[in-house]
Structure 1
Amino acid sequence: MPTGGLRPRAAEVQRRQTYERVFAAAIAEFKRAGMADADIGAIVTAAGVARGTFYFHFPSKEHVLLELERREEKRIAAEMTRFTRTSEVLPDMLAEVVRVVVAAERRLGPRLFKDVLAVHFSPSRPPDDEWSDHEIIVVLVDRIEAARDRGEVDPSVEASLSAMFFLLGLYALLTTTQRSSRVRAFMLDAFVAQFWRGIEAR
């Protein structure tokens, strides 16, 4: 019986392996030098491919970061979803969002994390890039709407705008404060508390 439709073709498997190798080499170089100063030559040497292979998979260095952003969002959204199975309390979820985003910053390193945020807010992003394309926002919107339906959040609150404002504030705090400072921890706790007070039903 033909099995061509049941398993990926060898060429596709090889293409995917090359893609992942180039991606990993690019991320390592971005961590070392930052995206702006990253050396494409160093990336392709580390990946063991020709220079043209990099551009075949990633038209620009920014496209590497867009892929990294997509993967990190998927990972963070999955953690947020798991958390909702243990608690529906919205302030707890907001604190969990802070925790998992800070963990992502720690995992990526401050330089790469800031590069990802820079491309996230870049005016050159596709014009049809909507909030519903971002899994973190989708999960947070869902939780805000659920809390609003339970009467815990003011009925006038627009969930999608609130989710975006929360993440904008969080990203701003993380990029403007020192990672290990007690001030940052205090500000993050205060930020969550203030945000919750702003949307809580009276």
Structure 2
Amino acid sequence: MRDKQREETRKKLYHAALEVFCRDGVAACRIEDIAQKAAVSRAAFYFHFPSKDDVLLELLKESETPLCEAIEALPPTATLQDVFNTVISNMSAFWSEGERRKLLVEMFSVSMRRTTIVHDREAEVVRAVVTRRFQAASERKELSSAMPPEILSDFYLLNCLAAMASWCVQPIMPLADMLHGVTHLFMQGAGPQE
């Protein structure tokens, strides 16, 4: 019973924090405002989330889990284009929903700070899953051999993040279209050389 109550409080705080972040901005919002919105104490916030960054990392995890599951559900023979389509559909569906777009830049900032601390590819789930697919594609000669597939997968994901950051600031086209464009440009340089 107590664990269920803790989980419910955590969910309330998480959703309240996202709402306050979207309304006030992450830097400008106060923990008191989040706690008040969730109808809990300030101490309860810190019990569940040591900082506002931890809420954003939870959002990142929420976006990564279905993406990784979808990529892993692809058959082992799936082409790199199948992987790209899965990345595009999952990222655009998640980040285009509601007001999440407002939190992309903040989430990127937290993610980049985390990446400077964690250099283990396996600790970064999306990187690990996508890298395995790039390695398989490289073995099937779907990629240029000019660079290792591990580096190419990082380049691809960074290009996707750059497109998402641009879309966040200037949403002049649907996110899916932006990601398709970046994928096309990426493959022009990383595709097999004839």
Smaller-chain TM-score bracket: 0.7 to 0.9
| Shift in alpha-carbon separation, 1:190–1:47, aligned structure 2, 3 A | closer
| Alpha-carbon distance between aligned partners in 2 of 1:197 and 1:87, rounded to the nearest angstrom | 22
TM-score normalised over the length of structure 1: 0.81
Deviations 1:103-154 (A, max 9, x none): 22212522112221121112x6672353322222222111111111222223
Q: Which residue number corresponds to residue 171 of structure 2?
A: 179
Return the alpha-carbon distance in structure 2 between the equivalents of residues 183 and 45 of structure 1. 34
Question: Number of residues paired by the alignment?
Answer: 190
Alpha-carbon offset, residue 161 of structure 1: 1.6
Higher share of residues assigned helix: 2
Q: Which has the larger radius of gyration?
A: 1
Q: Distance in 2 between matches of 1:90 and 1:151?
A: 10
Q: Contact conserved, 2:164 with 2:175, CA < 8 A, in 1?
A: no
* Map 1:22-171 → 2, pairs under 5 A: 22-82=13-73, 84-85=74-75, 88-107=78-97, 108-122=99-113, 127-171=117-161
> Which has the larger displacement, 105-114 or 68-77?
105-114
How far did residue 158 of structure 1 move?
1.7
Q: Is the 8 A contact 1:141 1:163 kept in 2?
A: yes
CA gap of 1:68–1:182, structure 2 versus 1, over 3 A, is closer
**CA apart distance, 1:155:** 3.7
Question: Following the alignment from structure 1 to structure 2, what is the Cα–Cα distance between the partners of residues 109 and 153?
Answer: 33
Asked if structure 1 preserves the Cα contact closer than 8 Å seen for 2:67 and 2:86, the reply is: no
- Matching residue of 1:7: none
TM-score, structure 2 normalization: 0.84
Unaligned runs of 5+ in 2: none
Give the C-alpha shift of residue 182 in structure 1: 7.2
Q: Would the aligned equivalents of 1:94 and 1:192 in 2 still touch at CA under 8 Å?
A: yes
8 A contact 1:87–1:93 mirrored in 2: no
Q: Secondary structure at the match of 1:153?
A: coil
Give the fraction of aligned pairs with identical amino acids, expressed as a percent.
26
Q: Deviations over 1:43-96 (max 9, x none)?
A: 1112121111111111111111111111211122122333x2397121232233
State the superposition RMSD in angstroms: 2.5
Q: Is the 8 Å Cα contact of residues 80 and 139 (structure 1) preserved in structure 2?
A: yes
